[in-house]
Amino acid sequence: MTRCDDFPRGKQPHRRSEFPLPVPVTGAWLEGDPVGHRQFANVGPLILESGLSLPDVTVAYETWGRLNDAGTNAILILHALTGDSHVVGDAGDGHRSAGWWNDLVGPGKPIDTDKYFVVAPNVLGGCQGTTGPASLDPSGRRYGSRFPRVTVRDQVDAEIALTTALGIGSWHLVIGGSMGGQRALEWALLGPAAGIGVDGIAVIASSAQFTGDQIAWSHPQLAAIRGDAHFRGGDYYDAPAGQGPHNGLGIARQIAHVTYRSAEELDTRFARVPQGAEEPLHGGRFAVQSYLDHHASKLAYRFDANSYVTLTESMLSHDLGRDRGGVATALRSIRTRALIVGVDSDRLFPLEASRTMARLIPAADPLRTIHSPYGHDGFLIEFDQLASIVKDFELSLEERTAPH
């Protein structure tokens, strides 16, 4: 076996490329790609908060289970920043990653698809089938730099249009984590205003307003993508494979991933251990650097740089209190039953943000806390804890909404 200290000073062992195959200019789902389990709804034009409009919006979504005759068993699941509609299922044609909540959703699971009709849309501005920067505009050109800014409220408006298209009059539960939790909060206000009932919301590892600290963490991520020479101002879709902004996207992902995990977990898991035979003193990497490189390359193959910018900017604009008299007033105006869940080691969405929501929403249950060393990603990892919390809330919702 070759040891790290067997390499001469100034030399380093050969490192496997983090991009072993040509990276497509975008990891977006494009027309002609395998559909997988996606379904598509054309919801027509959408007027945005900015006053601009998207003339022809398509929403990609997946469903599980069956809507009952009374239409009272529908659950809406909202994904986080780099998630998509593929909540449940294996990776395969049309789906580069396995379902991100496989342990929570399915027959006999906490969100029981034998009992509930579950819908998961890809978010407006995303890159997995819903209209976004990689989509074709009515003239047949990819939007690219011309895709307008969208807000969380715009995204919920698109989901309201999908709800109407599906013939759903009310949601038993709207549940989401992180960016999905922001939309769940807006659903509590925008859904009833649009005539769509919302029995309950579950807001997991999220907040009612993006903070200065969160904006600060987001800023270098956006700069990394825009600073990539291959970004071309957002118009890179005609470039050959390997010539897209995957380096900038990868750096953005590395910055973000540090906020998704806790300092305790990274130090306990990796400490100062070198990566394999690499010697950091001679130009090699520490194991934690290799770990971040891996997540950078993984995202480049399945996501779109423009969508990353679009969705990050939608989170920057997130403010439940905008034009509603402030955050506290907006939270107090929510009449929907609410489950608020925080992660005790979350440094991206600190527990205090969840505590505030649980305190101010009149019909909120007491704050539930996931105890985890994994930080923000605890809501995607600690399934045993989350399953119990969600199941308890569903049962209490059923008791409250059952006919007497």
Neighbouring-strand partners of residue 247: none
> 67 in a domain, yes or no?
yes
DSSP states along 87-108 = -SS-SBTTBSS--TTTTTEETT
pLDDT score for 399: 82
Helix (H) or strand (E) holding 360: helix 351-360
Task: Indicate which residues carry an active-site annotation.
Answer: 178, 346, 376
pLDDT lower than 50: segments of the chain:
1-17, 404
pLDDT score for 310: 98
pLDDT score for 4: 33
Q: Under a CB-based contact definition with an 8 Å cutoff, are residues 316 and 43 in contact?
A: no
> 114 in a domain, yes or no?
yes
Ligand-binding annotation for 377, yes or no, is yes
- By CB atoms closer than 10 A (0-12, 13-18, 19+), residue 121 is buried
pLDDT score for 22: 82
How far is 269 from 373, CA to CA, in rounded Å?
10
> 26 in a domain, yes or no?
no
Beta-sheet pairing, 200-204 with 197-198 = unpaired
Burial 35-58 (b: 16+ CB within 10 A, else e): ebbbeebebeebebbeeeebeebb
How far is 76 from 188, CA to CA, in rounded Å?
12
> 216 in a domain, yes or no?
no
Q: Which two tokens stand for residue 335?
A: 């009449």
Report the 3 state secondary structure along 271-332: CCCECCCCCHHHCCCEHHHHHHHHHHHHHHCCCCHHHHHHHHHHHHCCECCCCCCCHHHHHH
Reported as a single tens digit per residue, the pLDDT across 132-165 is 999 999 999 999 999 999 999 999 999 999 999 9
Reported as a single tens digit per residue, the pLDDT across 66-121 is 999 999 999 999 999 999 999 999 999 999 999 999 999 999 999 999 999 999 99
| Total of domains in the chain | 1
Q: Under a CB-based contact definition with an 8 Å cutoff, are residues 97 and 52 in contact?
A: no
pLDDT score for 400: 74
> 342 in a domain, yes or no?
yes
> 268 in a domain, yes or no?
no
pLDDT score for 11: 37
On whether the pTM is more than 0.85, the answer is: yes
> 396 in a domain, yes or no?
yes
How far is 103 from 254, CA to CA, in rounded Å?
26
CA distances from 354 to 125, 129, 251 (A): 26, 31, 29
- What is the CATH number for 396? 3.40.50.1820
Ligand-binding annotation for 9, yes or no, is no
Q: Under a CB-based contact definition with an 8 Å cutoff, are residues 321 and 356 in contact?
A: no
Maximum C-alpha span of the chain? 80
> 303 in a domain, yes or no?
no
Q: Under a CB-based contact definition with an 8 Å cutoff, are residues 286 and 272 in contact?
A: yes
How far is 339 from 361, CA to CA, in rounded Å?
10
Smallest CA-to-CA distance from 127 within 261, 376, 312, 349 is with: 312
Q: Under a CB-based contact definition with an 8 Å cutoff, are residues 79 and 85 in contact?
A: yes
Which structural domain range is residue 343 located in? 39-210+319-401
